[in-house]
A and B are shown apart, each in its own frame.
Chain A
Amino acid sequence: MATDLQLPVFTNNSENELAGRWGMVIDQDICTGCQACVAACAMENNIPFVGEADAGYGRTMHWIRIERFWQGTFPEVKMTPYQPVLCQQCHKAPCEPVCPVFASVHSVSEDINLQVYNRCVGTRYCANNCPYQVRVFNWRDYTDARQRPELVTLQNQLNPDVTVRRRGVMEKCTFCIQRIRHVEDTAQSEGRDVRDGEVVPACAQACPADAIVFGRVDDPTSKVSKAAITSRGSHMLEELGTLPRVTYLAGGSAQ
């Protein structure tokens, strides 16, 4: 019975999975900046609204934001293509190792970047270290109905599959992991693999232009893998070597 005392052997084989599992392709050429993803994300993930003053002070809680810049001056002015920026789910995420309590960890099984809300102590180092600035912090008790009576009825809308965060907790896009888990569970109960296109995050689901494609990047036949293989594709701040899982297809007249 000596084997009973054998400690389980844990190996870190993430290095072998560079392709990743889940990925996203965002086509900036057809993204119309309509913000449907922003609203859908907020509704799906119980993201609180922060009010005018805080919103204007850089405390919005959006997990996805749409960036745009200007080029030139009138009349030759041009808006750069809308760029939805969300957590890039880096394979080598700079946000992860800096957390002192493992609140920001890598999910080896899904190869995405996790934020474990209840473990977070609020040092905000991860947010500092995120080159994409996609982490948002609960600056106040935005979800506490005792402090915000207007929430009493609004909270009926909360998604029971997603934790409601309170003050002092960092959060970020999860690739709608609750949907991934749900689909995986359904597939498992039906004894089959997850089908391509079965997992749809809220943003991709809402996107009227279908600019967001989501799926398995380790499957070369998936829609997302095919979409990513184009000369228009690039990763944001690729030079940092973070191996992001979101591919942007350039906007404008680039082929």
Chain B
Amino acid sequence: MSSIAKPLALPHAEEQEDPREQLMHDPRSRGEMNDMVMESMHSTTWKYWTVTGILAVIVVVCLFYAWYYLIMQGLGVAGVNRPVYWGIFLVEVVFWIGISHAGTFISAILRVLKVEGRRPFTRAAELMTTFGLVQAGISVFLHMGRVWLSYWLIPFPNERGLWPDFHSPLMWDFMAISTYLLSSTMYLFLPLIPDMAMARDRSTGWRKAAYRILAIGFRGTEGEWKNLITAMNIFAFAIIPVMFSVHTIVSWDFAMASRPGWSSSVFGPYFVIGALHSGMAAVAIVLFLIRSTMKNMKYFLRPEHFDLLGKLMLMVSMAWAYFYFNDYIVSWYGGDKWEKIVQEFTEKGPLWYLWYAMLFFNIVVPFAVLWNKKWRQTPWLLAIVGLLINAGMWLERYIIIPETLTINRMPFTWRLYVPGVEIVLTIGNFAFFFLLYMLASRFLPLIPVWEVQEGHESHTLRKIGKASIPTLSDME
């Protein structure tokens, strides 16, 4: 006997999804949202100040004092040696630039593609971009042997008649990172202007003065909006290639060197994807922290957003695995003697466990967790996955830089790298990132309220047949 249908599911299995669980279909008035955001900025507990204080102390000791010590003593206090001339400092540079990619990705690419789920957390991601770049910049300077002369990288006319050498990938890097830092800071600022105006309108005292300055006199007239939106559109389109170029150029620092394990043409896209991998994961961590520690954020940051992030993370993880495999198999199959030695060293050398840990964190963990929608929508779980991915990506950079550098074409010099003061400075770097974020969280509206309201305006529920279907009208 043939049946006309498969067994039916339990009733209401699909109806359980209430559209009101989505931020866009749970509108509140702008004033209410403004107050919520303002309240979240104003409420500081003793816990907040304790954490901030501890972070500040760590920054002063582990970053500023340790840096002073490093400068006065020379890089000998770090673990770099011959042949590992580049150590954790550059791992940090790549790592933080990677982190910084998430902000641009979310606010630029998703803005261009009109992914509505981005609305509440573009700001949080953009802040990560800027603060991540600050850390990357610091790490570059930490890395330099004579940092006090780093201004020689700036092309300016001088009495020596000397200019920087644009043949050098580091110079491209310098230009690209400066461009990226400047443009991402501007891009952070543009959508912030209306929110600054909002904050200006509802604060007093020094905050008022500061917001007034930052709101640069914005009222919201037609012309102002038009200019702002136009500028933002230009930025959204222009910053995407810059973002790709930045990490590609970072990868070229390695790929341009004729070193086994580095000289690879897939490094550009591989690094970009790697950057997104760690960046997305970092967004997950930061969103989780914001949501769980700041007031009123559970309204703005909802499981649906973690779901979106989770999907992106899964996608990026797969892409990363694809690119890694690409890089791997080419050198595995190609049979270049030195490439093979590098591979053998990473897999079977004294640091073999780092390689396995990297693969586990970067591929296995996201694959295992992020397929499941329920798990994706669990913020703490996503944060843990994010943490592991970040650890994995940090290890990936560690394997690419100090570990690969151990192997070169002169076996007589092969030597392992043992980090020294870098560890302290890394702690300082992380603390500085979180300190900046903590301070910013009480000064800048972490939710772009006007964008959320804009979203509310364009979303409706439309009744089609028996169901109310969330519907988006393009108002931009």
Q: Are A131 and B409 in contact (CB under 8 A)?
A: yes
B3 on the interface (CB 8 Å rule)?
no
What is the chain A residue whose CB lies nearest that of B73?
Answer: A140
Are A121 and B145 also in contact (CB < 8 A) when A128-B85, A133-B410 are? yes
Residues in A neighbouring B149, C-beta threshold 8 A: 121
- Contacting residue for A99 out of B75, B150, B165, B412, CB 8 A: B165
CB distance from A100 to the nearest CB of B (A): 4
Q: Are A57 and B81 in contact (CB under 8 A)?
A: yes
Residues in A neighbouring B146, C-beta threshold 8 A: 120-122, 167-169
A interface footprint on B154-174 (CB within 8 Å = 1, 0 otherwise):
000000001111011111001
CB distance from B349 to the nearest CB of A (A): 16
Q: Are B153 and A121 in contact (CB under 8 A)?
A: yes
A interface footprint on B69-80 (CB within 8 Å = 1, 0 otherwise):
000011111001
B411 on the interface (CB 8 Å rule)?
yes
- Contacting residue for A128 out of B145, B259, B409, CB 8 A: B259
CA of A168 to CA of B144, assembled, Å? 8
Interface size of B by CB at 8 A reads: 45
A29 on the interface (CB 8 Å rule)?
no
Name 20 interchain pairs, CB-CB below 8 A, sorted by A.
Answer: A57-B81, A58-B82, A58-B84, A59-B82, A100-B153, A102-B162, A102-B163, A124-B145, A125-B168, A125-B169, A129-B257, A131-B258, A131-B408, A132-B410, A137-B82, A139-B76, A139-B80, A141-B73, A170-B145, A240-B258
CA of A138 to CA of B74, assembled, Å? 8
Q: Are B82 and A136 in contact (CB under 8 A)?
A: yes
Restricting to A91-105, which residues have a CB under 8 Å from any CB of B? 94, 97-102
A interface footprint on B238-273 (CB within 8 Å = 1, 0 otherwise):
000000000000000100111100000000000000
What is the chain A residue whose CB lies nearest that of B72?
Answer: A141
Q: Are A169 and B145 in contact (CB under 8 A)?
A: yes
The 9 closest A-B pairs by CB, nearest first: A122-B145, A168-B145, A167-B74, A140-B76, A139-B76, A58-B81, A168-B146, A97-B167, A124-B85
What is the chain A residue whose CB lies nearest that of B151?
Answer: A121
Residues in B neighbouring A97, C-beta threshold 8 A: 165, 167-168
A interface footprint on B81-108 (CB within 8 Å = 1, 0 otherwise):
1111110000000000000000000000
CB distance from A230 to the nearest CB of B (A): 24
Q: Are B75 and A167 in contact (CB under 8 A)?
A: yes
Q: Are B80 and A128 in contact (CB under 8 A)?
A: no
What is the chain B residue whose CB lies nearest that of A118?
Answer: B149
Q: Are A128 and B74 in contact (CB under 8 A)?
A: no
CA of A167 to CA of B253, assembled, Å? 24
CB distance from B464 to the nearest CB of A (A): 61
B405 on the interface (CB 8 Å rule)?
yes
- Contacting residue for B170 out of A94, A125, A140, CB 8 A: A125
Residues in A neighbouring B85, C-beta threshold 8 A: 124, 127-128, 137
CA of A230 to CA of B31, assembled, Å? 88
Given contacts A58-B83, A122-B145, 5 further A-B contacts (CB under 8 A): A100-B174, A101-B162, A120-B145, A124-B80, A137-B82
Restricting to A120-163, which residues have a CB under 8 Å from any CB of B? 120-125, 127-129, 131-133, 136-141
Residues in A neighbouring B147, C-beta threshold 8 A: 121-122, 168
B376 on the interface (CB 8 Å rule)?
no
CB distance from B201 to the nearest CB of A (A): 47
B143 on the interface (CB 8 Å rule)?
yes
CB distance from A241 to the nearest CB of B (A): 9
CA of A67 to CA of B412, assembled, Å? 6
Interface of B toward A, CB cutoff 8 Å: 73-77, 80-86, 143-147, 149-150, 152-153, 162-165, 167-171, 174, 253, 256-259, 405, 408-413, 415, 418
Residues in B neighbouring A168, C-beta threshold 8 A: 74-75, 144-147
- Per DSSP, chain A at the interface is loop
CA of A98 to CA of B83, assembled, Å? 17
CB distance from A40 to the nearest CB of B (A): 21
Residues in B neighbouring A132, C-beta threshold 8 A: 409-410
Restricting to A201-240, which residues have a CB under 8 Å from any CB of B? 237, 240
A30 on the interface (CB 8 Å rule)?
no
Residues in A neighbouring B82, C-beta threshold 8 A: 58-60, 127, 133, 136-137
CB distance from B475 to the nearest CB of A (A): 47
Restricting to A47-103, which residues have a CB under 8 Å from any CB of B? 54, 57-60, 65, 67-69, 85, 94, 97-102
Residues in B neighbouring A195, C-beta threshold 8 A: none
Residues in B neighbouring A65, C-beta threshold 8 A: 412
CA of A11 to CA of B175, assembled, Å? 27
A181 on the interface (CB 8 Å rule)?
no
CA of A102 to CA of B76, assembled, Å? 24
Q: Are B258 and A101 in contact (CB under 8 A)?
A: no
Residues in B neighbouring A59, C-beta threshold 8 A: 76, 81-82
What is the chain A residue whose CB lies nearest that of B262?
Answer: A128
CA of A100 to CA of B77, assembled, Å? 24
- Contacting residue for B145 out of A60, A100, A131, A137, CB 8 A: A137
Q: Are B170 and A129 in contact (CB under 8 A)?
A: no
Residues in A neighbouring B162, C-beta threshold 8 A: 101-102, 119
